[in-house]
Amino acid sequence: MGRLFGTDGIRGLANQEPITPETALRLGRAAVEYCTKKGEAPVIVIARDPRSTGEMLEHGILAGVISAGGTALVSGVIPTPGLAFLARETEAALGIMISASHNPHNYNGFKVFSGEGFKLSEREEYEFEEILLSPGDAAPPGLPGSARTIPDPEARYRAFLRRRAGRGVSLRGMKAVLDCANGAASRVAPALLRELEVDTDTLFDKPDGRNINSGCGSEHTENLSGRVREAGAQVGLAFDGDADRLVAVDERGRRLSGDQLLTIFAKELKEQGKLVNNCVVSTVMSNIGLKAALSDMGIRWVSAPVGDRNVLAAMRENGAVLGGEDSGHMIFLDRHTTGDGLLSALMLLEAMKNFDRPLSELAGLMQGFPQALVNVPVREKPELEGIPDVKRVIEQVEGKLGERGRVLVRYSGTEPLCRVMVEGGSREEVDAAARKIAEAVKKALDR
């Protein structure tokens, strides 16, 4: 078995390697050994989203932790950022989230957090993976550990979010439509907004294990847009399956990009004197328009590789408190340790209230360059620089775009896809260029 950890944990088709009960068992044992080697008591928090395969994998991790002599604290279904919060609050050594985020129900995965609530660094992942992949699967000798259920995890998480976001701004009377993606936010998000007296209309909040992310959530906002217009709501808020990302639509039903949300948050924090080090971090996938908008506001922009873990690393290195990805992962580092869709939703509602302007106007703070993104299914992921035909086409496109655009071609870290992104001066130009590169990638890899 090769390297397991990708851009965001371990992910794949459930009940196929490596997302199997056997891997879950080894993961639980590896977690105990990892903690023990670091001199920490092996207390591990376990949570999941509502996929049909979640309980199967949860029981595997439980068996692994207990058989290795550790203590498992079981949360049940809760958003990934809720797991990060619980790891800190319970003073555990690790947290393990069972989720495949925005992927369909037949996928699942594992995300590992430190006891401080941060995703493991790349170095820590290698250390953990070395234990996980080491030969031998027998439990160490000694007495087994134990498992306990965490009482009221959702209520504790909601209270945490109210403390972190609700800093003197009343949201009473605001009207929002929620799309919970039939995922981990299905109970906690509507309850949270009701507690804050937001007039809330909720869609896709009845998970059955198989309908997570199915035609709904952050990847599919068509129904949300329609409901926002019908209800006369001020905003639509869509989460993904584990609620660590947010996608918003304005009062006209138009979808905002993650870069537009970052621009809104950056402006508000700067005006409040809370944008520490006058810096915002995003990834190489961000639209060129983000850099231009931040520059106009006198804010420094820092680019990081794709992945919220990389964004976080760059934020810590630059002393920034705001960072995110165009996909909707937003990190408010002075308020939480990881991307949190529910926290982002509260921060957006607060910004709308403070600016007293409709979201459609706030979206205009950033003017995006036309962007095309094409996903090419792949079976293998050879180094793209080593494929002459692909390299030649990319260079041709870059030469034609010149200073008016850019090209980014990379493999997905969580799916068997090659992502082709092109930005430029016109929609027709970028669409044609992206298709041309995608065809070259497909032709080369098919051979």
The residue among 325, 51, 330 whose CA lies nearest residue 184 is 51
Token pair recorded at residue 249:
């639509």
Question: Rounded distance, CA 267 to CA 364, Å?
Answer: 12
> Catalytic one among 75, 99, 101, 286?
101
Please provide the size of the chain in residues. Answer: 447
Phi/psi at 338 (5° precision)? -150, 170
Query: Is 113:124 a contact under the CB 8 Å cutoff?
Result: no
CB atoms within 10 A of CB 387: 17
Residue 19 in 3-state DSSP?
strand
List C-alpha distances in Å: 273 to 45, 264, 349, 350, 358.
36, 14, 19, 16, 23
In sequence order, what are the residues at sequence separation of 6 or more whose Cβ sits closer than 8 angstroms to the Cβ of residue 385?
391
Residue 327 designated active-site: no
* Distance of alpha carbon 68 from alpha carbon 61, whole angstroms: 11
Distances in whole angstroms, Cα of residue 103 to Cα of each of 106, 107, 108, 215, 223: 8, 6, 8, 11, 19
Residue 175 contacts residue 231 (beta carbons within 8 Å): yes
Structural tokens at position 108: 């699942």
Order of strands, sheet of 406-411, starting from the edge strand that comes earlier in the sequence: 371-377, 417-423, 406-411
Only one residue has tokens 């231009």, namely 292
What is the C-alpha to C-alpha distance for residues 59 and 146, in angstroms, rounded to an integer? Answer: 13
Contact predicate 264/253, CB 8 Å: no
Question: What whole-number distance in Å separates Cα of residue 73 and Cα of residue 43?
Answer: 7
Active site members: 101
